Amino acid sequence: MGLVFFPAFDWAISPTHPEREERLLYTKDQIFEEGLLDLPEIVEYKAGVATLKDIARVHFCVPDVKSQITDAHLIAVGGCLVLADALLKGEITKAFALVRPPGHHAMRVVHGNRGFCNINNEAIMIEYLRKKYGLRKIAVVDTDVHHGDGTQEIFYHDPDVLFISFHQDGRTLYPGSGFTHELGGPGAFARTLNVPLLPGTTDEGIHYVLDNLILPILKEWQPELVINSAGQDNHYTDPLANMRFSAQGYARLNEKISPDIAVLEGGYAIETALPYVNVGIILAMAGLDYSHVKEPDYYPGKFKESAECVQYTRNLVRQLREVWERQEELAAKHRAEEGKFRLRGEPGNVYQKYKHIYYDTDQIEEEQHETVHLCPVCPGYLTISSTANRGWSGRASAFAVSIPLYACPKCQEEGRRAYAKALDSKRNHDFIYLQDKPLDEYRRFDCARKQESSL
Ligand SMILES: [Zn+2]
Ligand SMILES: [Zn+2]
Ligand SMILES: [Zn+2]
């Protein structure tokens, strides 16, 4: 099993912010204390540095990639990519990237920082793996207490990425999304599944969801790779959330899911949770005994699930299983309904989604129209128009075209034409982008300077 540690000493939102370097330092101490790095099963890798192109393969950064990131971001992603390479080359069979800053709230268009995230580590790793090794079917299980809204958004129209997130109900916690009706776009129905749990859910409830929903679906769908978007903030001592998950609960979860790669997301109880949870996860993933790993104040039976909570979770699992089992029928119905809302003036069969995105850390409001140009033989290309209101520093608007890696030649050509057309038009955008994944070419046009650059 491979590990990368990258605590990012020089990156912080503010000195007292809960997302800070100590999150990894206590874990590192505990790993030394347990002697984990002396075990032949565990190898530590040095983080690499991701390229700007790796980031442009996923994100449209406004105004450009460099302005949205620091070296710490490139190294956090780079750590994930080093482990991904080691895994695919067969040097290791499991990997855990203990890196920060986190990434799962970063969406495709990036105007700033949301939920402590600028760029999405898992999404960048997925597109890297697909481009370099030709992987296609990938599952992401988001075990962070917050809904992985960024990862969901990036893969919402991708039928080859299955995204399952369990989290504390969005009515009670940031980012306020992740409900059961969010199921993926018309070409990727039931490839997004959300399990919003009640505050106070314990090991018992989370393992009920695993055993009765997540594991059977993973078994049936047969992904080529499973990623755990591993947040430790479901822990009962986490200061930002209200769940009652334990280190043993987390370790057993990783033993059962057996992800190929885990990537650290949130978790803010830096002394009382993270060292134990992370050590438990490492031991479980390495196939070693983790039964002794526990928090000093934990004992079995410390928390008992309320009858209401048990009932709620059971109903939720039943409802989502039904969606999964009837997905073809429901997807057809969904497509027929969406068809009624086709836009006037848009050629062919398109699906449009309006989004209002708030960047809590940077206090930016974004309005976005995302249009999927549906295709009978491929996932179709996307066009996005986005305007961000930054308050003090004004507005920025962008038009972007994203051509998926597995687009058919016709959609690839149409996508490139949409970019050329946007360059010609007098529409008022500050920046125009093209993400041509089949060609691995990423263009950006600065309208004020009339300058095109490419990665
Ligand atoms: Zn989650
Ligand atoms: Zn979180
Ligand atoms: Zn197509």
Q: How confident is the model at residue 339 (pLDDT cuts 50, 70, 90)?
A: low
Distance from the CA of 146 to the center of ligand 1, in angstroms?
5
Widest CA span in the chain: 67
Ligand 1 centroid to 101 CA: how many Å? 17
Whole-number Å distance, alpha carbon 350 to ligand 2 midpoint, is: 34
Closest ligand to C-alpha of residue 166 is 1
Is it true that the peptide bond before 63 is cis, omega within 30 degrees of 0? yes
Segment 367-390, tens digit of pLDDT: 999 999 989 899 999 999 999 998
Q: Which three-class secondary structure string do you get for 66-110? A: HHHCCHHHHHHHHHHHHHHHHHHCCCCCCEEEEECCCCCCCCCEE
Per the CB < 8 A criterion, the answer to whether 103 and 144 are in contact is: no
Candidates 181, 130, 182, 125; CA nearest to 156 is 182
Q: How far is the CA of 146 from the centre of ligand 2 (A)?
A: 4
Percent of the chain with pLDDT over 70: 97
Mean pLDDT, the chain, as a whole number? 94
Overall average pLDDT of the 155-183 stretch? 97
Query: What integer pLDDT is reported at residue 351 of this predicted model?
Result: 86
Q: What is the pLDDT of residue 274?
A: 94
Q: How far is the CA of 51 from the centre of ligand 2 (A)?
A: 26
Whole-number Å distance, alpha carbon 321 to ligand 3 midpoint, is: 30
Ligand lying closest to the C-alpha of residue 187: 3
Average pLDDT of the segment spanning 170-190 = 96
Collect residues with CB below 5 Å from ion ligand 2: 144, 146, 231, 233, 266
Q: Flag whether pLDDT at 442 surpasses 70.
A: yes
* pLDDT, greater one: 345 or 82: 82
**Over 90: is that where the pLDDT of 184 sits?**
yes
**Ligand minimally distant from the alpha carbon of residue 175:** 2
Task: Answer yes or no: is pLDDT of 107 > 70.
Answer: yes
- Cα 403 to ligand 3 centre (Å): 10
Q: Does position 22 have pLDDT exceeding 80, yes or no?
A: yes
Tokens of residue 416, six digits = 């490139």
Count CB neighbours of 308 within 10 A: 10
189 CA to centre of ligand 2 in angstroms: 25
Look up the pTM and report it: 0.96
Cβ neighbors of 127 (< 8 A, separation 6 or more) are 54, 57, 58, 405, 437
Cβ atoms within 10 A of the Cβ of 77, count?
33
Average pLDDT on 119-146 reads 98
Lowest-confidence segment of 121-125, 244-248, 390-394 by average pLDDT: 390-394
Which of helix, strand or coil describes residue 433?
strand
Distance CA 443, CA 398 (A): 13
Ligand closest to CA 165: 1
Ion ligand 1 — residues with CB under 5 Å?
142, 144, 148, 165, 167
Tokens of 352: 């449009």
Q: Which ligand is nearest to the CA of 232?
A: 2
Which position among 105, 147, 157, 429 bears the catalytic label? Answer: 105
Using the predicted structure, report yes or no on whether residue 346 has a pLDDT greater than 80.
no
Check if 167 is active-site: no
For 250-259, the pLDDT digits (tens) are 999 999 999 9
Residue 409 has a CB neighbour count (10 Å cut-off) of 10
